[in-house]
């Protein structure tokens, strides 16, 4: 493409040099009243000279018909006739004078200082797209005036378009022009001449000027007219006969592909390129039918360009609005759901805290009740009288000391008692059969089995002497633990964990090695024991013990055991429940003591609860309330509890009056007996609620808000699209209606009607 442009420019330079060398130096004749100054150009029928009007000093242009034949006068008359008709048209060079009888004939017209469009193109090169279209519209407007007055130019080209001092175009050289009803042929200039015009027998057609207009715009944008080719030019010029030249021209244009160079010019949009292509179409039926239709197409293009921002606004404005609404709606949606989620979680946390406090208070009340009954028995005068009698019996003291070592505890094999040795067996028999020991049993049985009295449910009651021997006990179920030594148990020692013994009977922890009769090993005030697993029921138990104090010394303990699972009430919903956890320091820290799953298995399972479930622990009692996972959910039986939950815990604390011990009296630390103090039992109640259950209302809210947001966006999109479609459809219908006015199929008839109206 660049090579073709360079070749065209080189050819233009050669043509210009050749024309300069052939310029005449003397005018064809002198004209009275005018001073001829210099040669301006020549055409097929004559020469144009610049002159000065001696009367006015005005510069003019004189066109001489130099063929010196009778046809000159006729040609002059025809051209002058058109100029006279167009004398008031600002788009046409004005006629000033005519020399009918001069030799050669001539006419005088106004001189345009800026020269022709051809001169401008050769001097300054191509136009910018917008400037070219603006000038093209001016030329087309002038041509429409010509056609409106029934005149077809038939030789429109850049050399015949003059530019005035305002760079406005003036159409000149009407030597080949024809009236619309004139059927005689007219030849134009190569590459600006329509293919069908290259025929001496062709009748003039308005589409010839349409083709020439398109070729001029093509030249202004690309620097060369369409189809121009050096080889073709040489071939046409080499033909001797005019008919052969015209035939070669038509054939070459017919065989050549449609010009496309204008489509790659900067600033030429598709619409403008299509207008140019339609103007220079080879088939006249494919061209615009009239100059008006060309101008209308340009106006449509300009209207589309002007309308494009509105259309873009019409398209992207709603989209932008939708985007902003989406962002705002998304922000509002997120803010609303976040705030709502935080609110419902806070509410759930508050509710769980309330439930845990309520359950902890209920557990504390039951614990206080068990403390009340054991303390009541430990201070009962009748019981103390019977206990003193047993404890002071010297015959029984030796037997109690024999069995006081924990390694002498009875072993059971297949339901049979196995004694460690005969001496221990004899001591047990002595104790079992002695009436002083038997006198203590009714006090225990009454509290375990007498339903007429207001005693709480229990698994067993028992009494340990100062050696730690369980001297008597009563159970809900058969049991074989009496007369064993339990001096290592927490309910006896008051320690956090059970003590461990070596095979020789000594304690494993050196800091606790001391005589078993030392009352410092016995609790001095009521105590809640560490949890232990019941061998009979396979459930966790806890013991409430109180010291039997005589003469300021602990002479033994009385205790009641309770099966855990009785302290708090459970919900049957896995999504909302409470459980009891041991939070005391020791080997069982974090152990889940009461849980809905354990309660359900006790009721429904025919077998005992698996040990793995009983030993489940909460990893850290200080769990995150929004990210709690129940350890029971890790097991197959607890799949219903396998979920993220919100939890809150409350400690089980009791309020009771402090008990002054002999040690506190000696240290002068006796507490006010009327002032109750809070005591932490080390147990905690955990209230659990499924996270999904908590935020279920939020999920419903999210779903509804999302539906509303989507519906609003769809409605907005539908309205925006409907408005855009309506406006665009209305504009298209309007354009089509106007186009019908500018697109007649019979151009000759239309031009004739225009001439008749003129």
- The pLDDT tens digits of the residues spanning 340-352 come to 888 888 888 888 8
Please answer whether residues 558 and 374 qualify as being in contact, where contact means their C-beta atoms are separated by less than 8 angstroms.
yes
> What pLDDT does residue 516 have?
39
Q: For residue 206, which phi and psi values (nearest 5 degrees)? A: -60, -25
Please answer whether residues 211 and 153 qualify as being in contact, where contact means their C-beta atoms are separated by less than 8 angstroms.
no
Q: Which residue has the higher pLDDT, 431 or 75?
A: 431
Q: Which residue has the higher pLDDT, 168 or 720?
A: 168
Please answer whether residues 598 and 714 qualify as being in contact, where contact means their C-beta atoms are separated by less than 8 angstroms.
no
CB atoms within 10 A of CB 518: 9
The model's pLDDT over 1-10, given as tens digits with 9 standing for 90+, comes to 444 544 554 5
Mean pLDDT of 677-705: 86
Reference 92, options 162, 171, 151, 153; nearest CA is: 171
Q: Which residue has the higher pLDDT, 316 or 57?
A: 57
Mean pLDDT of 706-722: 81
Rounded to 10 degrees, the C-alpha dihedral 524/527/531/535 comes to 70
> What pLDDT does residue 147 have?
87
Rounded to 10 degrees, the C-alpha dihedral 63/64/66/72 comes to 90
Task: Kindly state the tokens that stand for 519.
Answer: 């009352």
Paired with 576 in beta bridges are 573, 689
The model's pLDDT over 98-121, given as tens digits with 9 standing for 90+, comes to 887 788 888 888 888 788 899 899
The model's pLDDT over 143-166, given as tens digits with 9 standing for 90+, comes to 898 888 888 888 899 998 999 888
E runs forming strands in 176-229:
178-179
Query: Which stretches of 463-511 are DSSP H helices?
Result: 490-493
Mean pLDDT of the chain: 80
| Bond prior to 104 in cis (omega within 30° of 0) | yes
181 has a pLDDT exceeding 50: yes
DSSP secondary structure, 663-717, as one string:
HHHHTT-PPPTT--EEEEEEEEEEEEEEHHHHHHHHHHHHHHHHHHHHHHHHHHH
Q: Which residue has the higher pLDDT, 317 or 610?
A: 610
**In angstroms, what CA-CA distances link 461 with 279, 417, 515, 540?**
117, 22, 26, 16
C-alpha torsion sign, points 175, 179, 180, 183: negative
747 has a pLDDT exceeding 60: no
Please answer whether residues 614 and 640 qualify as being in contact, where contact means their C-beta atoms are separated by less than 8 angstroms.
no
Give the pLDDT band (50/70/90) at residue 440. Answer: very high
E runs forming strands in 496-633:
527-528, 532-533, 540-550, 553-563, 576-582, 592-594, 628-629
Task: Kindly state the tokens that stand for 315.
Answer: 């398209």
Give the pLDDT band (50/70/90) at residue 290. Answer: very high
Please answer whether residues 617 and 591 qualify as being in contact, where contact means their C-beta atoms are separated by less than 8 angstroms.
yes
Please answer whether residues 582 and 601 qualify as being in contact, where contact means their C-beta atoms are separated by less than 8 angstroms.
no
Mean pLDDT of 187-203: 89
**In angstroms, what CA-CA distances link 462 with 496, 498, 545?**
21, 18, 9
Question: How many angstroms separate the first and last alpha carbons of the chain?
Answer: 46
DSSP summary character for residue 564: T
Helix, strand and coil in the chain, % to nearest 5: 50, 20, 35
The model's pLDDT over 511-551, given as tens digits with 9 standing for 90+, comes to 333 333 343 479 999 999 988 887 667 788 899 999 999 98
DSSP summary character for residue 253: H
Please answer whether residues 121 and 158 qualify as being in contact, where contact means their C-beta atoms are separated by less than 8 angstroms.
yes
Mean pLDDT of 230-241: 81
User: Cα angle at 20 between 15 and 23, to 5 degrees?
Assistant: 125
Reference 360, options 648, 17, 710; nearest CA is: 648
- CA 533 – CA 348 distance, rounded (Å): 34
Please answer whether residues 225 and 238 qualify as being in contact, where contact means their C-beta atoms are separated by less than 8 angstroms.
no
**In angstroms, what CA-CA distances link 110 with 58, 61, 87, 377?**
9, 6, 11, 141
Q: CB under 8 Å to 15, separation ≥6 — which residues?
A: none
Give the rounded percent of residues in the chain with a pLDDT score beyond 70. 79
> What pLDDT does residue 223 have?
93
Give the pLDDT band (50/70/90) at residue 749. Answer: very low
Give the pLDDT band (50/70/90) at residue 446. Answer: very high
The answer regarding whether domain 26-304 maps to CATH 1.10.510.10 reads: yes
Q: How far is CA 226 from the centre of its chain?
A: 53
Domain ranges of the chain: 26-304, 307-346+696-741, 347-658+673-695
Instruction: List the single range of 392-396, 409-413, 426-430, 551-555 with lowest mean pLDDT.
Output: 409-413
Q: CB under 8 Å to 488, separation ≥6 — which residues?
A: 406, 468, 498, 499, 500, 501, 507
Give the rounded percent of residues in the chain with a pLDDT score beyond 90. 26
Helix axes 206-222, 747-757, angle to 10 degrees: 100
**In angstroms, what CA-CA distances link 587 with 1, 396, 497?**
94, 36, 7
- CA 553 – CA 463 distance, rounded (Å): 16
> What pLDDT does residue 667 have?
46
The model's pLDDT over 555-598, given as tens digits with 9 standing for 90+, comes to 999 999 998 876 777 666 778 899 999 988 877 888 998 888 98
Which residue in this structure is represented by tokens 């179920």? Answer: 477
> What pLDDT does residue 28 have?
86
């Amino acid at each position: 493409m660049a090579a073709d442009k360079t070749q065209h420019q080189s050819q233009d330079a050669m043509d210009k040099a050749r024309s300069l060398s052939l310029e005449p130096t003397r005018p064809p004749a002198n004209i009275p009243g005018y001073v001829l100054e210099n040669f301006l150009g020549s055409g097929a029928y004559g020469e144009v000279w610049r002159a000065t009007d001696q009367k006015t000093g005005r510069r003019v242009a004189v066109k001489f018909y130099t063929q010196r034949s009778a046809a000159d006068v006729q040609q002059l008359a025809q051209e002058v006739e058109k100029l006279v008709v167009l004398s008031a048209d600002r788009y046409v060079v004005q006629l000033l004078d005519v020399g009918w009888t001069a030799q050669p004939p001539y006419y005088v017209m106004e001189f345009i200082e800026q020269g022709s469009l051809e001169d401008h193109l050769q001097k300054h090169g191509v136009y910018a797209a917008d400037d070219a279209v603006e000038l093209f519209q001016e030329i087309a407007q002038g041509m429409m005036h010509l056609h409106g007055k029934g005149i077809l130019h038939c030789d429109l080209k850049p050399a015949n378009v003059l530019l005035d001092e305002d760079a406005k175009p003036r159409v000149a050289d009407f030597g080949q022009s024809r009236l619309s009803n004139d059927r005689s042929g007219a030849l134009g200039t190569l590459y600006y001449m329509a293919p069908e015009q290259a025929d001496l027998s062709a009748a003039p057609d308005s589409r010839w000027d349409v083709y020439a207009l398109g070729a001029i715009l093509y030249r202004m944008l690309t620097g060369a007219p369409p189809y121009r080719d050096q080889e073709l030019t040489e071939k046409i010029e080499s033909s001797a006969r005019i008919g052969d030249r015209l035939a070669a021209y038509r054939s070459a244009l017919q065989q050549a592909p449609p010009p496309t160079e204008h489509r790659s010019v900067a600033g030429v949009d598709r619409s403008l390129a299509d207008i140019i292509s339609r103007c220079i179409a080879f088939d006249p039926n494919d061209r615009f039918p009239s100059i008006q239709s060309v101008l209308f197409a340009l106006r449509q293009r300009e209207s589309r360009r002007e309308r494009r921002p509105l259309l873009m606004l019409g398209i992207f404005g709603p989209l932008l609005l939708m985007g902003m609404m989406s962002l705002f709606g998304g922000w509002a949606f997120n803010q609303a759901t976040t705030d709502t989620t935080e609110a419902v979680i806070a509410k759930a946390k508050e509710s769980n805290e309330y439930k845990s406090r309520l359950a902890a208070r209920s557990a504390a009340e039951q614990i206080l009740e068990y403390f009340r009954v054991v303390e009541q028995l430990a201070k009962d005068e009748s019981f103390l009288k019977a206990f003193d009698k047993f404890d002071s019996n010297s015959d029984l003291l030796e037997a109690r000391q024999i069995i006081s070592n924990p390694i002498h505890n009875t072993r059971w094999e297949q339901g049979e008692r196995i004694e460690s040795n005969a001496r221990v067996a004899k001591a047990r028999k002595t104790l079992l059969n002695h009436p002083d020991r038997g006198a203590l049993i009714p006090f225990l049985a009454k509290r375990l089995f007498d339903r007429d009295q207001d005693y709480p449910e229990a698994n067993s009651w028992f009494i340990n002497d100062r050696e730690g021997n369980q001297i008597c006990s009563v159970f809900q179920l058969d049991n074989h633990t009496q007369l064993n030594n339990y001096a290592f148990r927490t309910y006896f020692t008051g320690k956090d964990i059970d003590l461990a013994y070596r095979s020789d009977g000594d304690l494993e922890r050196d800091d606790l090695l001391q005589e078993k009769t030392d009352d410092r090993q016995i609790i001095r005030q009521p105590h809640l024991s560490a949890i232990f697993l019941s061998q009979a029921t396979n459930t966790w138990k806890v013991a409430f013990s109180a010291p039997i104090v005589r003469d300021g010394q602990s002479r033994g303990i009385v205790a009641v055991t309770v099966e855990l699972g009785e302290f708090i009430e459970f919900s049957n919903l896995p999504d909302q429940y409470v459980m009891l956890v041991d939070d005391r320091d020791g080997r069982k820290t974090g152990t889940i003591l009461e849980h809905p799953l354990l309660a359900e298995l006790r009721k429904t399972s025919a077998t005992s609860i698996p040990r793995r479930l009983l030993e489940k622990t909460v990893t850290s009692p200080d769990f995150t309330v929004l990210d709690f996972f129940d350890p029971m959910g890790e097991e197959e039986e607890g799949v219903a509890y396998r979920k993220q939950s919100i939890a809150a815990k409350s400690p089980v604390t009791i309020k009771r009056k402090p008990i002054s011990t002999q040690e506190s009296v000696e240290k002068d630390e006796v507490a006010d007996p009327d002032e109750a103090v809070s005591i932490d039992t080390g147990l905690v109640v955990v209230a659990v609620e499924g996270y999904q259950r908590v935020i279920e209302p939020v999920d419903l809210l999210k779903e509804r808000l999302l539906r509303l947001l989507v519906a609003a966006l769809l409605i907005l999109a539908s309205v925006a699209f409907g408005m855009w479609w309506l406006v665009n459809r209305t504009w298209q219908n309007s354009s089509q209606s106007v186009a019908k006015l500018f697109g007649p199929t019979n151009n000759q008839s239309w031009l004739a009607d225009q001439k008749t109206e003129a």
